[in-house]
Structure formats: structure tokens, C-alpha cells
């Protein structure tokens, strides 16, 4: 494997993390017992001395998918005990899905890590993802096509915000697994080999075997792809800041000047803007965006639908709004919180179940809420707004739905970035959050120079 100019030893990677992170800091190390996470914990422990401004914690997620996983978690606890690091074990309980087990396990792992991070008030979660993992990730994404424009070629970001709550940092992304194992051997420390890492049933294992035979990874190309993705996202952020408005959280308008200029940044901005308005967790795919861009490049008024969003081009610019089909009602018991239509987080603070659905369109109300907007578009926008009612008999103060909505907390959801916000997209995500009226993101806990690497 050709690692390029940024092949760091475990000690160097940890030194860089400590130099870049604001202190005092509290780091939660995700440790499975494998060589990568053990190497990260041991390397960090060597910097954890009185007056360092560093507090370390560790967490092991027992997925319960293999015999002996509980014993492995206890072995990690013993290692943490020897290092004087507080350790937590969390087990993935409940029935496991028959398909998509890897994705489900990953979701459970992040959810449980976040619970521990909240408990210890961690500045960040740190994981042992390595240069080898980065090479495998890029190879898998490259296989899905799109050539040099494939944003997946940027690989994993050094920092990712999880659930808008805690940053996850990956300090070993420029460190080879073989160097980590040499470091652990030198420290007299062993590790646990997960047999699933040899199971060819998994795509990553097959890719790993192929990469081992080819013995190549172009780190310089990955760095260029990461810089290209960051620059593209930052330009999309500028476009959104200068030319986009969002009304009532449901209707976006792109001024005519925003339809000109760099095509790549327009494509990037619109793909994520549509995901936000459509309540989708991922930006529109390349096929959908090809259709949208071809429509826009035609320069003629008209409409096209993609990703549950209507793109309506008029002489005064482009309007984007959630299409009115497929907006399902949500029954929300008292005291519960849930996501409606992928676009709003609703909390029922009242004593009775509520039902959240689309607002019945009324022309006069639509024109009042969206002044200056073409009536047909205003009507669509009203129908995309949430309407809250209750199943319970209405009290006097609840007549005409008064009081019902007041006992509910309604927050907009930034669907593509609420779960995972990679550092590449940070500035763009901030601009979208401002436009939508979302709460701000926690600040990046490391120096912003990471964006320039």
C-alpha cells in the first residue's frame, strides 16, 4: 500500500490530535479490543498525565452477535483498568434484523456511544479508523461509479458530527494498521482478532483481500478528492447564502442569478436542498440530478419532480417545495417525540395523543403566508406544513385547534445532516440550518486547519 507523504505513526497521529484539540478536553475512546482501537487507547494513555488537560474514558459496544463477545468486552475492561481509564460496556439489546445487519449494528453502535458520551460529557468520541479502512472505503465507493466527480472518493472525514450532539474524530486515518500493531507489540500489548474480519460474505472483507494483493493506495489522490469536495461544499454554501431564501420552513426560492455560474456547486446545493425539503436522509442521486440539471439548463418555465420535491421554474427564479403526495399522518402519544415526514421533530407535551398531518390548503391563508409567491406554489407550500390535532374531546380552550399546537414542540429537521454531518459539509450545513431556522451545531473541537489537509 502506497501511503504517500502523510503516513503517521500512532504516536505522531495522537500528538497531532492533542496539539489540534482545544483543552481541557474529555475524550471517549470507542474500543472493541481490536488492534486499531487498542492502539488508539494505549497511545492516548501515554499523553494522559496530570496537568495535560486531557481526560480519557473508554466504551465498548457488545453487539451480542458472536459467542464470546461479552468475554471480549470484559477483557477490554481489564485493559482499561490497568491503564487507569474509566470504562463502560453497553450491549445492543433486542431482536436483530435478518438483513442489513452491518448497517443496523453501526447505527446501534453510534447510538450507544452517544449515550455514554452524554453521560461523561465528552468533548468528542474518537475511533481507530485507519488508513487501511480509508483505502477500503474509497475502493468500495469507487466501484459504484461516477468517476473523478464521485464525492465518495474523498473517503471518510476526519471529523463527523453525530445527531447534532457530539463530534466523532478519526485521528488514525493516516496511520497504517501494520504500524499500529508494531506499536502495540513494542508496548507488550495484545489485541483481539474479530473472525468476521475474515468472512468473505462482507463486501469490505473482499475489498480488503483484493487491496492486499494489489498493494496500492493513492493517498495524494484521496487528499485532492477531499479538498475538492470541501471546496465544492463551501461554494455551495456561498451560493445558498447569497441567492436562496426559505419561507415557513417549506418553500425555497433560488434567485435567477443563482441559476447561473458554476454548474457543480449549483448541482451540489440543489441536491442537498431538495433532500432537506423532501425530508430525505441523503442528497439526490446522480440520475435524479442529471434530470433536474437538464431541465434547468433548458431555460424554460416548467416543473419537474425529484426526490419528493417539485422544482418549479418561473421568470422570477426557481421554487422548491415538497410534493403533496405521500405525506402520511403521524399518531404521537403523550410525552413522546417522533419525526414527521422526515422534516419535523414533534414532541407531544400535552396529556393526549396528537395527530400530525399536512395542512389543508386554503387560498387566502396561502397568499397571506407566502406573499408575492404564485398562488399555485403558495397552495403547495401550505399543504407541506404540519397541522396538529388531537383525538381527545376538546376542552373549551382547545376549540379550533387552539392549545393543541401550543402543547407541542415543533422543530425543523435538517434531514441530510441531522444524523451525520461530515466535516467536508460543515459550512454548507451551517448555512442550511440558518435558512431553515434549526438550532446551531456544536463547534468543531479541533482546529479548523484540519479542513486544509
Q: Summarize the annotated binding site for ATP as residue ranges.
A: 32-37
Measured CA to CA, the distance from residue 211 to residue 162 in angstroms comes to 30
Contact in structure between 384 and 417 (CB atoms under 8 Å)? no
At residue 363, what are phi and psi to the nearest 5 degrees?
Answer: -60, -45
Residues forming the annotated binding site? 32-37
HSE-up of residue 239 (Cα within 13 Å, Cβ side): 26
**Distances from the Cα of 81 to the Cα of 84, 120, 147, 284, 445, angstroms:** 5, 17, 48, 47, 27
H or E element at residue 168: strand 166-169
Measured CA to CA, the distance from residue 392 to residue 412 in angstroms comes to 26
Residues 114, 115, 118, 120, CA torsion sign: negative
Can you list the alpha helix ranges (DSSP code H) found in 244-324?
263-278, 286-297
Measured CA to CA, the distance from residue 6 to residue 173 in angstroms comes to 10
Strand 87-91 relative to strand 54-62, pairing: parallel
**Distances from the Cα of 436 to the Cα of 244, 402, 415, angstroms:** 11, 25, 11
Measured CA to CA, the distance from residue 242 to residue 255 in angstroms comes to 9
Q: What is the DSSP string of 182-249?
A: HHHHHTT------GGGG-TTSHHHHHHHHHHHH----HHHHHHHHHHHHHHHHHHHHHHHHHEEEETT
Amino acid at each position: 500500500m502506497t501511503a504517500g507523504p502523510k503516513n503517521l505513526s500512532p504516536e505522531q497521529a495522537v500528538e497531532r490530535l492533542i496539539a489540534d484539540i482545544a483543552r481541557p478536553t474529555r475524550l471517549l475512546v470507542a474500543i472493541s479490543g481490536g488492534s486499531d482501537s487498542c492502539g488508539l487507547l494505549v497511545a492516548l494513555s501515554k499523553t494522559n498525565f496530570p496537568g495535560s488537560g486531557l481526560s480519557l474514558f473508554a466504551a465498548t459496544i457488545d453487539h451480542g452477535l458472536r459467542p464470546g463477545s461479552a468475554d471480549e468486552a470484559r477483557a477490554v475492561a481489564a485493559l482499561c483498568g490497568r491503564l487507569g481509564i474509566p470504562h463502560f460496556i453497553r450491549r445492543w439489546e433486542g431482536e436483530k434484523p435478518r438483513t442489513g445487519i452491518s448497517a443496523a449494528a453501526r447505527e446501534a453502535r453510534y447510538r450507544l456511544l452517544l449515550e455514554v458520551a452524554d453521560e461523561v460529557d465528552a468533548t468528542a468520541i474518537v475511533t481507530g479508523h485507519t488508513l487501511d479502512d480509508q483505502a477500503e472505503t474509497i475502493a468500495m465507493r469507487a466501484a459504484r461509479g461516477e468517476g473523478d466527480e464521485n464525492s465518495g472518493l474523498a473517503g471518510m472525514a476526519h471529523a463527523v458530527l453525530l445527531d447534532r450532539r457530539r463530534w466523532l474524530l478519526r485521528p488514525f486515518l493516516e496511520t497504517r494498521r501494520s504500524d499500529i500493531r508494531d506499536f502495540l507489540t513494542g508496548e507488550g500489548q495484545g489485541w483481539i482478532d474479530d473472525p468476521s474480519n475474515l468472512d468473505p460474505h462482507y463486501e469490505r472483507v473482499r475489498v480488503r483481500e483484493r487491496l492486499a494483493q494489489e498493494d496500492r493506495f493513492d493517498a495524494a489522490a484521496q487528499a485532492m478528492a477531499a479538498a475538492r469536495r470541501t471546496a465544492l461544499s463551501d461554494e455551495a454554501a456561498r451560493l445558498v447564502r447569497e441567492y436562496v431564501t426559505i419561507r415557513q420552513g417549506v418553500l425555497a426560492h433560488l434567485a435567477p442569478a443563482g441559476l447561473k455560474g458554476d454548474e457543480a456547486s449549483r448541482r451540489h446545493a440543489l441536491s442537498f436542498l431538495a433532500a432537506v425539503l423532501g425530508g430525505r436522509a441523503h442528497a439526490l442521486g446522480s440520475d435524479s440530478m442529471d434530470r433536474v440539471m437538464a431541465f434547468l439548463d433548458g431555460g424554460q418555465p416548467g416543473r419537474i419532480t425529484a426526490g419528493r420535491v417539485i422544482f418549479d421554474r418561473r421568470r422570477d427564479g426557481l421554487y422548491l417545495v415538497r410534493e403533496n403526495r405521500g405525506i402520511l399522518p403521524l399518531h404521537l402519544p403523550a410525552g413522546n417525540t417522533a419525526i414527521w415526514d422526515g422534516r419535523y421533530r414533534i414532541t407531544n407535551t400535552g396529556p393526549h395523543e396528537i395527530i400530525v398531518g399536512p395542512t389543508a390548503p386554503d387560498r387566502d391563508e396561502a397568499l397571506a403566508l407566502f406573499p408575492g409567491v404564485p398562488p399555485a406554489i403558495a397552495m403547495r407550500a401550505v399543504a407541506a406544513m404540519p397541522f396538529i390535532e388531537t383525538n381527545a374531546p376538546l376542552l373549551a380552550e382547545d376549540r379550533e385547534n387552539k392549545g393543541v399546537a401550543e402543547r407541542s414542540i415543533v422543530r425543523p429537521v435538517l434531514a441530510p445532516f441531522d444524523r451525520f454531518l461530515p466535516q467536508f459539509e460543515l459550512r454548507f450545513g451551517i448555512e442550511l440550518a440558518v435558512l431553515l431556522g434549526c438550532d446551531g451545531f456544536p463547534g468543531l473541537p479541533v482546529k479548523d486547519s484540519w479542513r486544509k489537509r
